[in-house]
Copies of this chain bind each other. A is one copy, B any other.
Amino acid sequence: MTNIAICAPATPITRDHARALEELVAAEFPGTNVTFHEQCFARQGHFAGDDLVRLTGLIDCANDPAFDAVWFAKGGYGSNRIAEAAVARMNEAARSKTYVGFSDCGYLLAALYRHGIGQCAHGSMPVSARSENGRKAVRRVLQWLNGDNSGLEPSLDGKIPAVAFNLITLAMISNTPLMPDLGGHVVMVEEVSEHLYSIDRLFFHLSGVLPRIAGLRLGAVTDIPENYVEFGQTEEEIARYWCDRAGVPYLGRAEIGHTSANKVVPFGLASPSRAA
């Protein structure tokens, strides 16, 4: 059995989201159990419970030796507020687990990767299990957690370590106590619902603060709001410009993003899941 614990370090999901994932798993992944922590359904203002409730939910899942993996239920905003405390409280059981999520949950992936805790992976989340397209993305994660690598991001070559982040999330992590050493890594970034001038501004920041990385890949940049004037460059031209200016190799596109095509990117050197 692959036993997966699910918690919500940022914003809450509903019982309908949970049921949709449970039905998918029951129908297609007989060797897998998913267990939703009650904290997934808690609400306080923007968040899935206050900081202590979310922290406790995460630690309950991470520190329990009965689970092989921790899957973050949904992004939104908020995992940054508990990430430092979380890594400080993790036990030996937490260190042998796989952790999967993306978007706002990149704060946790960063902190875990920095501290060498478990195997992190960028991948879609349980919140997507209610739509047909979303289930395609969710299925890739479940397959990977069961040893099937068909849903891995195709540029991963097992030779150069990789990470994947939401662009704002990585900018906000940079130089904070959550920031892992990304020297020598291929860094993949994706973004959603940001103006192109904001994309340009974020690349400005990253080009000034990222250590020597092996290269950058640009994931999907979706739902760009219309501005009062055309920016004048596409998202790929922006990425190329800042890579050129920073002396970072631009390696092309990555199949990650806030879309159903979002692929799995294990942090570090791609490898079959430890949960398999």
Contacts and interface: CB of A to CB of B under 8 A. Distances in A.
Given A80-B201, A201-B77, A204-B80, A230 B176 contact: no
A197 B168 CA distance: 13
A76 B195 CA distance: 12
A205 B176 contact: yes
Given A208-B177, A208-B178, A45 B201 contact: no
Interface string A41-58: 000111100000000000
Q: Give the most central of A76, A205, A233: most B CB within 10 Å.
A: A205
B205 A172 contact: yes
**Most chain-B CB neighbours within 10 Å: which of A76, A80, A197, A231?**
A197
A12 to B, nearest CB: 10
A150 interface: no
Q: Shortest 3 CB-CB distances between A and B: which pairs? A: A45-B232, A176-B208, A77-B197
Given A45-B231, A171-B171, 8 more contacts: A44-B232, A45-B233, A80-B204, A174-B205, A175-B209, A176-B204, A176-B208, A177-B208
13 contacts: A45-B230, A45-B233, A46-B197, A46-B227, A46-B232, A77-B201, A80-B201, A171-B205, A172-B202, A172-B204, A174-B209, A175-B175, A176-B208
